[in-house]
């Protein structure tokens, strides 16, 4: 079943992993809130997986990774800012006989709340230095400071893309609650990609992997053949790649490029932001590439059925398939909004490739198949 068939919908737009995989989702993702947290484990000498709970999220948990360094520890990602998440992290460290101030470095793969929300609080209690990509720094204020402005821009953008007026409020709800799970923190060091982060026996190269988020990074140790993939590559769900008012203009093009880049690494072990560590990176990146190709084909196919008829992003989305068992009418407002942003990422890529024409008229953007096709 897809995570969209879970009883809980996502609480915010720019933060969640998209549940658009139509295949079977394993137990870890299907049991929803209240599911058992995966076990803490030392996966390689000096690298621990410390799963933290994500209350009310169908994802259930986020994986953070602790790496022993010469002067303490590095933590990669940190969960969101809720008391139970902090308690879980403290519990993991206590069990390993590590004090919070021993965590000297905090690297964030991207600033979605489930990876970044706790960073501000953690820096206060541990005095760890904080690093993430320069582009993620750009989005902090616009995503987490002015909720009203974000909501009104998003509402106008949904309208522009054909959302019926009586659905606007329904689709636009939900972002604000997630902002409460973020304590804003600015980086001590911004990353561009290409840096090497040395941690004891490991040397992680920072690889910029835009798409799921504009400044998403992965960390790769070529000698030990291990990749910390954040949300760029997940084992069982398709990371969401959506186009909306707080993204770059063609995020799916970025995502597919950086997926191909990562698929060429000789990583033997992948440590993802959610789900179980896994092997077989090229097979997984191939699956994700094929998934997006099917979605691109689906958009062209449905527009080709009525040549010359232009449809809005919303109308295209409503005609696409989002779940095995549920129809468009069954999706919640928030799920519909996630769907619209994902569909538009595909539509915009097709437009950029010259496969679709984009029209602006009567205050609405519509698309139709290019006559050159
Ligand atoms: Zn994410
Ligand atoms: Zn995530």
The 10s digit of each residue's pLDDT in 19-75 is 443 333 333 333 344 578 999 999 999 999 999 999 888 899 999 999 999 999 999
153 phi and psi angles, rounded to 5 deg = -65, -40
Instruction: For residue 315, report the distance from its CA to the centre of ligand 2, in Å.
Output: 28
Please write the tens of the pLDDT for every residue from 152-185: 999 999 999 999 999 999 888 755 667 889 999 9
The pair of three-digit structure tokens given for residue 267, joined into one six-digit string: 């990583």
Length of the chain in terms of residues written: 373
Number of independent structural domains in the chain: 1
Q: Which ligand lies nearest to the CA atom of residue 112 in the structure?
A: 1
pLDDT of 347: 98
Rounded CA separation 290/308 (Å):
28
User: Is the per-residue pLDDT at 148 higher than 90?
Assistant: no
User: Is the per-residue pLDDT at 373 higher than 70?
Assistant: no
Strand 311-312 to strand 364-369: parallel, antiparallel, or no bridges (unpaired)? antiparallel
1 membership: H or E segment, kind and range:
none
Region 310-333: mean pLDDT is 93
What domain range includes position 32? 3-282
The pair of three-digit structure tokens given for residue 326, joined into one six-digit string: 């549920």
Domain assignment of residue 243, yes or no: yes
Domain assignment of residue 366, yes or no: no
Instruction: For residue 118, report the distance from its CA to the centre of ligand 2, in Å.
Output: 13
Count the neighbouring beta carbons within 10 Å of the beta carbon of residue 290: 10
Domain assignment of residue 317, yes or no: no
9 phi and psi angles, rounded to 5 deg = -95, 165
Q: pLDDT-based confidence at 4, cuts 50/70/90?
A: very low
Instruction: For residue 358, report the distance from its CA to the centre of ligand 2, in Å.
Output: 32
Region 290-316: mean pLDDT is 96
Instruction: For residue 360, report the distance from its CA to the centre of ligand 1, in Å.
Output: 31
Instruction: Report helix, strand or coil for 227.
Output: strand
**What is the 3 state secondary structure string of 170-218?**
HHHCCHHHHHCCCCCCCCCEEECCCCEEEECCEEEEEEECCCCCCCCEE
Region 243-271: mean pLDDT is 96
Mean pLDDT of the chain: 89
Q: Which ligand lies nearest to the CA atom of residue 110 in the structure?
A: 1
150 half-sphere exposure, CB direction, 13 A CA radius: 22
Rounded CA separation 229/221 (Å):
11
Angle between helices 281-304 and 333-352 (to 10 degrees): 90
Rounded CA separation 232/109 (Å):
9
User: Is the per-residue pLDDT at 11 higher than 70?
Assistant: no
Q: Which ligand lies nearest to the CA atom of residue 80 in the structure?
A: 2
Instruction: For residue 119, report the distance from its CA to the centre of ligand 2, in Å.
Output: 14
pLDDT of 27: 32
Domain assignment of residue 290, yes or no: no
pLDDT of 36: 86
Residues near ion ligand 2 (CB < 5 Å) are 114, 231, 273
Rounded CA separation 344/366 (Å):
11
Q: Which ligand lies nearest to the CA atom of residue 14 in the structure?
A: 1
Rounded CA separation 100/51 (Å):
16
Rounded CA separation 92/86 (Å):
10
What percentage of the chain has pLDDT greater than the value 70? 89
Q: Which ligand lies nearest to the CA atom of residue 57 in the structure?
A: 2
Instruction: For residue 212, report the distance from its CA to the centre of ligand 1, in Å.
Output: 6
Instruction: For residue 166, report the distance from its CA to the centre of ligand 2, in Å.
Output: 31
Domain assignment of residue 62, yes or no: yes
**CATH number, domain with residue 273:** 3.60.15.10
pLDDT of 277: 98
Domain assignment of residue 206, yes or no: yes
């Amino acid at each position: 079943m897809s995570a969209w068939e879970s009883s809980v919908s996502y609480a915010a737009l720019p933060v969640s992993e998209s549940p658009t995989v139509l295949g079977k989702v394993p137990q870890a993702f299907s049991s929803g809130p209240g599911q058992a947290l995966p076990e803490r484990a030392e996966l390689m000498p000096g690298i621990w997986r410390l799963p933290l709970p994500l209350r009310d999220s169908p994802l259930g948990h986020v994986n953070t990774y602790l790496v022993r360094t010469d002067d303490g520890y590095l933590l990669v990602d940190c969960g969101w800012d809720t008391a139970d998440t902090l308690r879980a992290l403290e519990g993991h460290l206590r069990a390993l006989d590590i004090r919070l101030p021993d965590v000297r470095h905090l690297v964030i793969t991207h600033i979605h709340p489930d990876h970044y929300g706790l960073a501000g609080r953690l820096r206060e209690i541990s005095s760890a230095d904080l690093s993430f990509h320069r582009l993620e720094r750009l989005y902090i204020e616009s995503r987490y400071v002015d909720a009203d402005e974000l909501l009104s821009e998003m509402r106008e953008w949904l309208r522009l893309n054909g959302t019926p007026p009586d659905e606007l409020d329904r689709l636009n709800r939900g972002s604000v609650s997630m902002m409460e799970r973020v304590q804003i923190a600015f980086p001590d060091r911004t990353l561009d990609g290409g840096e090497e982060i040395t941690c004891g026996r490991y040397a992680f190269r920072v690889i910029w992997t835009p798409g799921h988020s504009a400044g998403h990074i992965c960390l790769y140790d070529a000698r030990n053949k291990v990749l910390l993939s954040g949300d760029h590559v997940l084992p069982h769900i398709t990371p969401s790649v959506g186009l909306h008012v707080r993204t770059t203009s063609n995020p799916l093009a970025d995502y597919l490029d950086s997926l191909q880049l990562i698929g060429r690494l000789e990583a033997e072990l992948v440590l993802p932001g959610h789900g179980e560590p896994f092997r077989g990176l090229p097979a997984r990146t191939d699956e994700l590439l094929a998934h997006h190709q099917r979605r691109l084909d689906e958009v062209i196919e449905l527009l080709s059925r009525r040549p010359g008829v232009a449809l809005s992003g919303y109308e295209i989305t409503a005609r696409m398939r989002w779940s095995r068992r549920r129809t468009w009418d069954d999706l919640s407002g928030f799920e519909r909004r996630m769907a619209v942003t994902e569909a538009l990422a595909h539509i915009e890529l097709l437009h950029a490739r010259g496969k679709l024409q984009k029209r602006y008229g009567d205050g609405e953007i519509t698309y139709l198949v290019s006559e050159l096709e």
